Amino acid sequence: MTSEQSKSDISRARILDAAAKTFRQKGYAATTLIEIAKAAGMQAGSLYYHFGSKDELIEEVLDIGMRRVHEAVEESQERLPADSSYRDRIRVAVEAHLTTLLKHDDYTSANIRIFGQVPEEVRQHHIRQRDAYAELWRRILTKAQKSGALRSDVDLGLVRMLLMGALNWSVEWYQPGRTSIQTIADHMCLMLFSGIGIEEPIRSGENETVA
Amino acid sequence: MTSEQSKSDISRARILDAAAKTFRQKGYAATTLIEIAKAAGMQAGSLYYHFGSKDELIEEVLDIGMRRVHEAVEESQERLPADSSYRDRIRVAVEAHLTTLLKHDDYTSANIRIFGQVPEEVRQHHIRQRDAYAELWRRILTKAQKSGALRSDVDLGLVRMLLMGALNWSVEWYQPGRTSIQTIADHMCLMLFSGIGIEEPIRSGENETVA
DNA sequence: GTCTATATTCAGATAGAC
DNA sequence: GTCTATCTGAATATAGAC
């Protein structure tokens, strides 16, 4: 039980990597074990030495993906100075979530993209883990609100859903090199804390022309 | 060519309705023609009288879905008084998008959920239509920014993506009866225009206790 | 227009050789 | 541990009867 990696461990990891990548790209049902095996450099039948079924494989991919965001966000909080502002706490959480999602993690983005496609039974097995992650955000936002850093008249559940949506949707459009992850996080935090609106001058009904 | 509906038209519509509903629920690959046929009250083979293939069917579902949001948002703008504020213009657009998505439209929500799963060829056929819808939002936001209603130092492309993400993700969590669509739209607009942050008092480093 | 029957294709899974 | 070969089931699509 040291950090030695048996041949089995190595193959297993290669399969998981290939699976996460393929599931993320093609979705659950459209991904075949043949494809995964090929990407992992072996034959389809060989997968069954490591995993009992396609669903067992997808479950582990989902599990790893969720664990990684969860840990990343949790660590972002622990790394902060104890006297950090609540805005900073939320800001680093947003950055951690986005970075995990977009930077190098096929597992996390696979989780987000295909969770809605997997068989009901697989989904059931992950509800607990999803809830735990939701709970982490709930705590962060609730503390911020109680402390007076967030408006007290908003439904934090709704805010959380809208925030997660904005962040998670990035897996559908983000392309490395076009915008930095930091810029995305900055825009998200600006919207969340201050909004991007400006008071409009009162107008008298005419269609004004703007230079 | 009046509004008469032939038997064929009626069956076709029933098939499309059943397809939109099933695709939305189960995703693209996991939905079988057998299921769709059953939901439409016929045998799988009969579908081929109306559609040449599964992909032809999905293309029409995607097409209808996108057309409906597009029209809904466009009409929301046309219905507004000419002297409406830019905030109001954005607000009704948000409401129209969300309402179409969540109220009665399996087509639109199917479009959002499965677009990422369909074969590349099908996706290609819809890029133009998707671009047209993006362009509609781009115009709305750009006019608002130019008029001074939105901060000039933000990347509107990013804002649009984050906004669409927050709205579209609602298909994953929205449940009728729990929160009203109007409340969701209100929260979204509040975040977008004003944010939900409150200036935090300057603190001196200690962990303060809050009553 | 819709049915029944079926051809075809292909994926998930198993068995035994190496 | 991985391979090859294969079973089994299921889904798209076609053909011809009604």
Which residue's C-alpha is at the least distance from the C1' of C15?
Answer: A45
Residue A143 lies in a domain: yes
Q: Does B109 touch chain A (CB under 8 A)?
A: no
Across the range B160-180, mean pLDDT stands at 97
Find the Å distance, CA of residue B2 to C1' of nucleotide D11. 38
Taking a C-beta distance cutoff of 8 angstroms, is the pair A134, A161 a contact? no
pLDDT at position A3 is 66
Please tell me what DSSP assigns to residue B110.
H
d(CA B47, CA B155): 47
Residue-level pLDDT at B211? 46
What Cα–Cα distance (Å) separates residue A181 from each residue in A78, A100, A176, A199?
Answer: 21, 10, 8, 29
Look at phi and psi of residue A4 and say left if phi exceeds 0, alpha if psi is from -120 to 50, else beta. beta
Q: Which residues lie across from B197 on neighbouring strands?
A: A150
Distance from CA of B62 to the nearest CA of A (A): 17
Q: What is the pLDDT of residue A207?
A: 52
pLDDT tens for B43-77 read: 999 999 999 999 999 999 999 999 999 999 999 99
Decide if A138 touches B, using CB distance below 8 A.
Answer: no
Residue B165 lies in a domain: yes
The whole-number pLDDT of residue A204 equals: 53
Instruction: Answer whether residue A67 is part of any domain.
Output: yes
Q: How far apart are CA A79 and CA B67, in angstroms?
A: 47
Write the pLDDT tens digit of every residue in A38-90. 999 999 999 999 999 999 999 999 999 999 999 999 999 999 999 999 999 99
Domain with A128, as residue range(s), is: 54-193
Nearest nt to the A34 alpha carbon by C1': C11
Interchain CB contact of B202 with A (< 8 Å): no
**Is A81 inside any structural domain?**
yes
Under a CB-based contact definition with an 8 Å cutoff, are residues A151 and B198 in contact? Answer: yes
Helices A181-193 and B156-168: angle between axes, nearest 10 degrees: 70
- Please report, rounded to a whole number, the percentage of residues in chain B having pLDDT higher than 90: 91
Nearest CA in chain A to B162: A166
- Cβ of A70 under 8 Å from any chain B Cβ? no
Q: How many domains does chain A have?
A: 1
Task: Using DSSP, state whether A36 is helix, strand or coil.
Answer: helix
Domain membership of residue B82 (yes or no) is yes
Nearest to A116 among B113, B158, B187 (CB): B113
Amino acid at A17: D
| A167 interaction partners in chain B (CB closer than 8 Å) | 165
Which chain A residue shows the shortest CA-CA distance from B118? A26
Give the gap in angstroms from C-alpha B22 to the nearest C-alpha of chain A.
12
Q: Which nucleotides of D are covered by protein (CB under 7 A)?
A: 1-6, 10-16
pLDDT, tens digit, for every residue of B94-107?
999 999 999 989 99
C-alpha neighbours within 13 Å on the C-beta side of residue B31:
24
pLDDT at A40: 98
Give pLDDT, residue A211: 46
Residue A43 falls inside a structural domain: no
For residue range B183-206, list pLDDT tens digits in order. 999 999 999 999 999 985 565 554
Q: Which residues of A178-191 are buried (b: 16+ CB within 10 A; e: fewer)?
A: ebebeebbbbbbbb
pLDDT per residue rounded down to tens, chain A (211 residues): 556 789 899 999 999 999 999 999 999 999 999 999 999 999 999 999 999 999 999 999 999 999 999 999 999 999 999 999 999 999 999 999 999 999 979 999 999 999 999 999 999 999 999 999 999 999 999 999 999 999 999 999 999 999 999 999 999 999 999 999 999 999 999 999 999 999 855 655 545 555 4
Tell whether B117 lies on the interface with A, counting CB pairs under 8 A. Answer: yes
Residue appearing with tokens 């990891």 = A13
**Are B200 and A27 an interchain contact pair (Cβ–Cβ within 8 Å)?**
no
Which run of H or of E encompasses A69? helix A54-78
Assigned token pair, A181 = 């992850």
Angle at A179 between CA A177 and CA A182, to 5 degrees: 115
- Looking across all nucleic acid strands, the nucleotide with the smallest C1' to CA distance from residue B46 is C2
Average pLDDT over every residue of B129-154: 98
Averaged pLDDT score across all residues of chain B: 94
| CATH for B144 | 1.10.357.10
CA distances from A14 to A17, A47, A102, A176, B90 (A): 5, 11, 20, 24, 48
Question: Which tokens sit at A66?
Answer: 């969720």
pLDDT for B4-32, tens place per residue? 789 899 999 999 999 999 999 999 999 99
User: Is B23 inside a domain boundary?
Assistant: no
A159, part of any domain: yes
Q: Buried (b) or exposed (e) across B74-88, using 16+ Cβ within 10 A? A: eebbeeeeeeebbbe
